[in-house]
Structure 1
Amino acid sequence: MDNKQKSLNLLGLAQRSGNLISGEALVLNAVRSHEAKVVVLASDASENTVKQFLNKCEHYRIPVLTDFSRGDLSKAIGKIRTVVAITDGGFAQSLQKLQ
Structure 2
Amino acid sequence: MMQKQWMSLLGLAYRARKVISGEELVIKEIRSRRAKIVLLSKDASLNTEKKITDKCHFYKVQICRVENRTVLGQAIGKDSRVVVAVLDDGFAKKLISLLD
TM-score by length of structure 1 reads 0.95
2:38–2:62 contact (8 Å) kept in structure 1: yes
Q: Structure 2: any 5+ residue segments left out of the alignment? A: none
2:85 corresponds to? 85
Percent of paired sites with the same residue: 44
Q: Structure 1: any 5+ residue segments left out of the alignment? A: none
Provide the secondary structure at the position in 2 that maps to 1:98: helix
Tell me the matched-pair count. Answer: 98
1:9 corresponds to? 8
Stretch of structure 1 that moved more, 71-80 or 23-32: 71-80
2:69 corresponds to? 70
Post-superposition CA distance 1:68-99 (Å, at most 9, x none): 31010111112231100000000000000112
Residue identity opposite 1:11 in structure 2: L
Post-superposition CA distance 1:11-49 (Å, at most 9, x none): 111110101011111100000000000000011111111
**TM-align CA RMSD:** 0.8
1:94 aligns with 2:94: yes
Segments ≥4 residues shifted beyond 3 Å: none
